[in-house]
Amino acid sequence: MRLATLTAALLLVASLSAMVLGQGPGPTTQAGQGAQGAGQGITPPPTGAQQGARGQAAQGGGRGGGRGAAAAGPALPTPRWPDGKPRLGALPGEKGLWNGGGSTADNTTPYQPWARAVSDDRRANAMEPHTRCKPSGGPRQFATPYGVEILDMRELQRIYILDVGGPHTFRVIYMDKKEHPKDLEPTYYGHSIGRWEGDTLVVDTIGFNERMWIDRGQAPHTEKLHLIEKFTRTDMNSMTYELTVEDPGAYTATWSRTSQMSFRANTELFEFICQDNNFAPELLVGTREFVDRSSVIVP
């Protein structure tokens, strides 16, 4: 019996590893290619509306997936819940995604020497984890190709941020918690708690792991990373995104950055599977210069 259980466990692990090998590069284009020469390809969309949105995302060169297609003319006012709080997502019966907001460090950022050196080296030599279908927390989530959907589930007291491109995943903001759990296991998205300050949603996140980048390479971080993100929807089509970064492992002081997000109406989430569409399987499977498919153990 024990032997059978062990064999089953072994087969399960082996099959999980082998699954990655089963996918060859699909029929893709390079429109989603990132600035570093790698990224996800694109498969045909299921609807015409998505196709339009995606085409614009492709023009973004993988740098955030579009520039926001605000309607001509003055934007409608900020949509609100009956209690007056801003709605961050689409109105009932409508759809829409947010783009932009991924701006982070620059030359004024108070880097520790190692962090500045790593930042420089990353952008010159390294491929970001996102190109290998890794989740990317913090501001990088908003730079995901095709945008993100924000779902405010008030009855659950949770806000979900779902990204279209990348690893087909989501992040949870707990609106009913005042403190983070102690002894958090570090994760890609960390642990987020949110609260309203007037019309601004303030999200406090800790518990990040060091397996991802929070942007496209400018801002290295450690597990000490603490992010405060402020979301203020200023009208139907616009949101101000204020990012504050505190990481004594990587920076000599707290620093902040503000950027804008744009709402793209009539666009919705579609099934994008990063692993299927990644046109750089050698990046997906390995740390090596070549892809060794003779082993069932996929690096």
Give me the residues that bind another protein (CB under 8 A), please.
2-3, 6-7, 9-10, 13-14, 17, 112-114, 116-118, 121-122, 125-127, 129, 210-213, 220-224, 248-250, 287-289, 297, 299
Nearer to another protein, 71 or 126 (CB): 126
Contacts 24+ apart (CB under 8 A), 34-38: 34/61, 34/62, 34/63, 34/128, 34/130, 34/131, 34/216, 35/61, 35/62, 35/63, 35/216, 36/123, 36/126, 36/127, 36/128, 36/131, 36/216, 36/217, 37/127, 38/127, 38/131, 38/280, 38/283
Minimum distance, C-beta of residue 49 to another protein, in the bound complex (Å) = 36
Contact 49, 129 (CB under 8 A): no
Q: In this structure, how many other beta carbons lie within 10 angstroms of the beta carbon of residue 129?
A: 17
Minimum distance, C-beta of residue 103 to another protein, in the bound complex (Å) = 20
Nearer to another protein, 223 or 268 (CB): 223
Minimum distance, C-beta of residue 268 to another protein, in the bound complex (Å) = 32
Up-side HSE of residue 122: CA atoms within 13 Å toward CB?
Answer: 18
Minimum distance, C-beta of residue 273 to another protein, in the bound complex (Å) = 21
Contact 57, 145 (CB under 8 A): yes
Nearer to another protein, 120 or 271 (CB): 120
Minimum distance, C-beta of residue 187 to another protein, in the bound complex (Å) = 12
Nearer to another protein, 60 or 137 (CB): 137
Nearer to another protein, 16 or 91 (CB): 16
